[in-house]
Amino acid sequence: MTLRTTDVPASRAFYGRIGFREVIARGDEFVVFSAGASEFVINRGESPRGTTGIGFLVADVASMETRLREAGVGYDGPMQLRPGKVGLRVTDPHGNVVEYFG
pLDDT tens digits, residue range 2-61? 888 889 999 999 999 988 999 999 989 999 998 877 788 998 988 777 677 888 888 999
Residue 3 in contact with residue 46, Cβ under 8 Å? no
Number of domains in the chain: 1
Looking at residue 67, its pLDDT comes to 93
What's the rounded mean pLDDT across residues 57-71? 94
Element (H, E) at 62: helix 61-70
Looking at residue 59, its pLDDT comes to 92
Query: Over the Cα atoms of the chain, what is R_g?
Result: 13
Range of the domain at 68: 2-101
5 SS3 class:
strand
Instruction: Say which CATH number the domain at 75 has.
Output: 3.10.180.10
**Residue 74: pLDDT above 90?**
yes
